[in-house]
Amino acid sequence: MKKLLFGLLVLPFAVMAQPAADAAMIKKISDEILSNGKAYEQLYQLTKQIGGRLAGSPAFAKAVQWGRQTMEKNGAENVWLQECMVPHWVRGGADKAFVILVDGAKTSRELDVLALGNSLGNGTVNGEVLAVQDFAELERRKDEVKGKIVYYNNGFNPTNVKPFISYGEAGIYRRSGPSRAAKYGAIGVMIRSLTESTANDPHTGAMAYNDSFPKIPAIAVGPRDADAVWTLTRKSKISMAMYTNGHFLPDTIGHNVIAEIRGTEFPDEYITIGGHLDSWDVNEGASDDGTGVVHTIEIMRALQAIGYKPKHTLRFVLFANEENGLRGGTKYAAEAKAKNEKHIFALESDAGGFTPRGFSLQVSKEQMAKVQSWIPLLSPYGAFELSNDGGGADVSPLNRTFGIPVGELIPDPQRYFNLHHARSDVFENVNKRELLLGAVNMAGLIYLVDKYGL
Amino acid sequence: MKKLLFGLLVLPFAVMAQPAADAAMIKKISDEILSNGKAYEQLYQLTKQIGGRLAGSPAFAKAVQWGRQTMEKNGAENVWLQECMVPHWVRGGADKAFVILVDGAKTSRELDVLALGNSLGNGTVNGEVLAVQDFAELERRKDEVKGKIVYYNNGFNPTNVKPFISYGEAGIYRRSGPSRAAKYGAIGVMIRSLTESTANDPHTGAMAYNDSFPKIPAIAVGPRDADAVWTLTRKSKISMAMYTNGHFLPDTIGHNVIAEIRGTEFPDEYITIGGHLDSWDVNEGASDDGTGVVHTIEIMRALQAIGYKPKHTLRFVLFANEENGLRGGTKYAAEAKAKNEKHIFALESDAGGFTPRGFSLQVSKEQMAKVQSWIPLLSPYGAFELSNDGGGADVSPLNRTFGIPVGELIPDPQRYFNLHHARSDVFENVNKRELLLGAVNMAGLIYLVDKYGL
């Protein structure tokens, strides 16, 4: 116990033992990225010249070509496309919803809504609304559900300082809410958008049906309209009409875009850095996950620009299908296993291009202590906070396949869910220096893992 | 030495000895602010219903009344206005500048400019441009200055991770650049705006003339136009016209707005919390310093709402004149001295309403160690980083007068100088949750200072 305590106390000062060379190298990386970084201009291209790029869409195919060319122009030793089948969900036009009856009297208040990703729709559904706060109320009132449109009012808990916790708590309404209502005979579902934004933009995102129940249409409503609907239902009976046309086309060919800088000492050992190239269809996919894409390319560019020769082979991966299938990340890990590759670490950026605050990892205690000892080298650039809450979605199959440590950049999270899956996720809502600092902190961590292992 | 080292090692764990009651109280404050905070709505009123409010202006007088009423409505035990004379600079209309000749050929490119605050103008000034990178180049080329308009190209150093360091380095061009050029016979000065923004908005801000030299007009140019001017002057001789009409009206009466919650144990010992009510005239003064104003009122509201009874008297101050005179902060300290008040700590918010990262203090080593020991109580809400770089401008006279510790909230600084003194400093560029978290962290620190002293 005494020994352990000593270890804990000494850790923050382990940096004193680090060669000053590490601090100098990270400063060199930072200076290169903050002075010559191309991430912001590349994000402009991806968001404004290509835009929304759901897996399977023509825009996604354009993004793959853009990714390959941009990596080739920015220091990759070799770039290739890794084919994988991806789902091909299409929205089928504009989603609409109206409150049409209040206590039997005709009205026509339009709500700002978006169909949930993967949901199925076939035109208009009309019905009385059963508004519930949460699943507990749904269960209590299950006998009232049949033939109605269920509205879930559950939102983010504002007292959670970290919005990702709120998203984790509320996300189940988007993913499972439709089937849980369909189980009791609901004909449609509307959820409060997963956000604390003060704007009325609705937020889409993936749902999944339980095959045991009817596949009813499902929409998210903007938060101000959600407030209005909830208030109305507290004093009146209301009916509404939902109009959606989401459907699946056959699975189609997608691609992970992969670039490498070969290792000098351990060329057959891999460190992966990545973000996902796909986005939802309703926005420019700037913060989700254009910023992760350009972080990935920027780290590669900057390490080459300063002449860094990694010991291990660095793989830079733009994943094909995070949003509604995870087929890209799954394929990457499967192929790594099939080829018997040795992977030692993987780091993702999929939480936006805001000022970095730290990393979320999935590592052993010893590995966590090692990363903690590097924090004094990284914190001058923003990253001070570590958690063991898991890496990003696209690197999780590597963790499951090989048991290797994985991680994710954690930028300041307060603005993320204002934009996430909403129309407002556009280039203009990304700040150039915040974006570049994300690449600085990720590159610093990659440098340390490459040098010291994990 | 051994003892000192032990002290350093033990400090991060001092929190273990803190009563869990402190953690519970700060959580209670946070829950109150994040659930019921009024700061965002109050900021809307201040920015949209009053807007830009330079000291001495009619809008500033309206802001004083708004401040008094808002404090009265939000839990102050008493509110009063503290009179002080303030400068009354007026812009005198729209500022303009044109490149009018390039190598003798007429052209008419308009530049986006703002006259510097406190600068004097009397219509149009025409002249050849001498573009210099910095003061060193000005000195080398001083014989070329006479009769010309000097353009300083000096900008922010992008490799500084903390933009306040860049502002500190580059700020001297705004404050002293005009007189340093006038010394050698310049007829006007234009500076590159003090920002790293990718937008072209010019940024105003205070300058001061050296009375030994002619008081020539001075403007700041938007960063993209600055790039264009610099590029032009690398290959051509250019002339330009500046049109400004800044001038001073007689000093006028302004007010600090002061509210109190009286202390239960030490009612005659004061802790001050404040922000400045004035702003520049060209924007809504949202982040500079509407956010500091509403932080101040929110802390007062929240502490009253949860029934907190401070040991010391808490003073909540909306200062009258930070931007171009510091008369409000100076008056507050002078009156405290005249009344022989005992002040123990003062905390300001004047760096925006972004997610908190820590505090900048002006304290002794022992005081710093004490605040450091509280960081584990505050870091769950954002504040993890302390520096001894000084408190805010408005509380600095208290420090100079009484030698007391002072501090300033340090929010994430990356976006601040995109907005600072520019037209873009509007309500829409403030995020509700980030704003509220600033109040949470300040209130937490105030609670700890009130309970344990400093």
Which CATH number goes with the domain that contains A377?
3.40.630.10
User: Does the beta carbon of A16 lie under 8 angstroms from any beta carbon of chain B?
Assistant: no
Nearest to A216 by CA among A96, A122, A143: A122
A-chain residues within 8 Å CB-CB of B198?
40, 432
CA–CA gap between residue B444 and residue B427 (Å, rounded): 25
Q: For residues A52-65, give the mean pLDDT.
A: 98
Is the domain of A338 the same as that of A205?
A: no
pLDDT band at B19 (very low <50, low <70, confident <90, very high): confident
Residue B353 in this model has a pLDDT that exceeds 80: yes
Asked if the model's pLDDT at residue A24 lies above 90, the reply is yes
Are the C-beta atoms of residues B42 and B295 closer than 8 Å to each other?
no
Q: Is residue A1 part of a domain?
A: no
Residues A54 and A161 in one domain: no
Residue B104: how many other CB atoms lie within 10 Å: 9
Within 8 A of B355 by CB-CB distance, chain A residues are 355, 412, 414
Which position has the token pair 């401070």? Answer: B310
Strands, E, within A144-237: which ranges? 149-152, 188-192, 218-221
Residues across chain A = 454
Distance, CA of A43 to CA of A294 (rounded, Å): 6
Instruction: Scan residues 180-239 of A and list those with Cβ closer than 8 Å to B.
Output: 196, 198
Selecting from A158, A384, A432 the residue whose C-beta is nearest the C-beta of B35 gives A158
Whether A5 has a pLDDT exceeding 50, the answer reads no
pLDDT in tens, A30-55: 999 999 999 999 999 999 999 999 99
Q: Measured between CB atoms, does A28 come within 8 Å of chain B?
A: no
**CB nearest B161 (choices: A161, A380, A385):** A380
A172-222 pLDDT, tens digit per residue, is 999 999 999 999 999 999 999 999 999 999 999 999 999 999 999 999 999
pLDDT of B76 higher than 70: yes
Q: Is the residue at A3 inside a domain?
A: no
* B118-128 mean pLDDT: 97
Is the per-residue pLDDT at B407 higher than 60? yes
Asked if residue B6 is part of any domain, the answer here is no
**Residue B8 located in a structural domain:** no
User: What does the pLDDT read at residue A303?
Assistant: 98
pLDDT at B75: 86
Please tell me if residue A382 touches chain B, with a CB cutoff of 8 Å.
Answer: yes
Query: Residue B415 and residue A437: Cβ atoms within 8 Å?
Result: no
H or E stretch covering B341? none
Q: Are B399 and B362 within one domain? A: yes
- Residue where one domain finishes, among candidates A248, A271, A295: A248
Q: How confident is the prediction for chain A on average, in pLDDT? A: 95
pLDDT given at position A18: 60
Residues of B in contact with A196 (CB under 8 A): 432-433
Co-location of A156 and A275 in the same domain: no
- Give the domain extent around A196: 94-248
Whether residue A82 has pLDDT greater than 90: yes
Instruction: Choose the final residue of a domain: B218, B248, B278.
Output: B248
Do B115 and B143 fall within a single domain?
A: yes
Provide CB contacts within 8 A for B219, sequence distance 6+.
B95, B97, B113, B114, B115, B116, B119, B188, B189, B190, B191, B202, B242, B244
B238 and B361 within one domain: no
**Do B37 and B169 belong to one domain?**
no
Q: Which of A31, A412, A431 has the CB atom closest to B159's CB atom?
A: A31
With contacts defined as CB-CB under 8 Å, which chain B residues touch A432? 196, 198
pLDDT over 70 at B271, yes or no: yes
Could you tell me the pLDDT band of residue B4, with boundaries at 50, 70 and 90? very low
Interchain proximity A418–B412, CB inside 8 Å: no
Confidence tier at B5 by pLDDT (50, 70, 90) = very low
Q: For residue A7, is it within any domain? A: no
pLDDT score of A415: 97
The minimum CA-CA distance between B161 and chain A, rounded to whole Å, is 6
**A189, A162, A228, A218: which is closest to A417 by C-alpha?**
A162
pLDDT at B185: 98
Residue A376's contacts (CB-CB under 8 Å, 6 or more residues apart) are A12, A15
Residue contact A161–B414, C-beta within 8 A? no
Kindly state whether residue A77 falls inside one of the protein's structural domains: yes
A291 CB neighbours in chain B (<8 A) are none
Give the pLDDT band of residue A75 (cuts 50, 70, 90).
Answer: confident
Q: Which residue in B198, B432, B433 is closest to A432 by CB distance?
A: B198
- The DSSP secondary-structure symbol of A46 reads I
Q: What is the pLDDT of residues A137-179, one digit of tens each?
A: 999 999 999 999 999 999 999 999 999 999 999 999 999 999 9
Over the stretch A240-261, which tens digit does the pLDDT of each residue have? 999 999 999 999 999 999 999 9
Nearest-CA distance A118 → chain B (Å)? 31
Query: Do B231 and B305 have their domain in common?
Result: no
- In this prediction, residues A312-336 reach a mean pLDDT of 97
| Strand positions, DSSP E, B133-199 | 149-152, 188-192
Cβ neighbours of B412 in A, within 8 Å: 355, 412
**A89 within domain boundaries:** no
Quick one: which H or E segment has residue A264?
none
Q: Are residues B213 and B291 in the same domain?
A: no
Residues B219, B127 share a domain: yes
Q: Which of B204, B224, B248 is the last residue of a domain?
A: B248
Inside any domain, residue A239: yes
Number of domains in chain A: 2
Q: How many other β-carbons are positioned within 10 Å of the β-carbon of residue B231?
A: 11
**Same-domain check for residues A258 and A394:** yes
Residues of A in contact with B31 (CB under 8 A): 159
Which of the four pLDDT bands, split at 50, 70 and 90, describes residue B18? low
Q: Does B15 touch chain A (CB under 8 A)?
A: no
- Listed residue (A257, A262, A326) closest to A296, CA to CA: A257
pLDDT of residue A9: 39
Any residues with CB less than 8 A from the CB of B15 and at least 6 apart, and which? B373, B374, B376, B377
Structure tokens at B307: 């029934």
Query: What is the distance between the alpha carbons of residues B375 and B361, in angstroms, rounded to a whole number?
Result: 13
> What CATH number does residue A210 fall under?
3.50.30.30
Q: Is the pLDDT of residue B385 over 50?
A: yes
Phi-psi region of B218 (alpha: psi -120 to 50; beta: other; left: phi over 0): beta
pLDDT tens, position by position, A86-123: 999 999 999 999 999 999 999 999 999 999 999 999 99
Is B433 at the interface with chain A, CB within 8 A? yes
Q: By the CB < 8 Å criterion, does A418 face chain B? A: yes
Task: Please indicate, yes or no, whether residues A72 and A165 belong to a single structural domain of this protein.
Answer: no
- DSSP secondary structure string for all residues of A52-84: ---TTSHHHHHHHHHHHHHHHHTT-SEEEEEEE
Name the burial class of residue B18, with classes exposed (0-12), middle (13-18) and buried (19+) by CB atoms within 10 angstroms of its CB.
middle
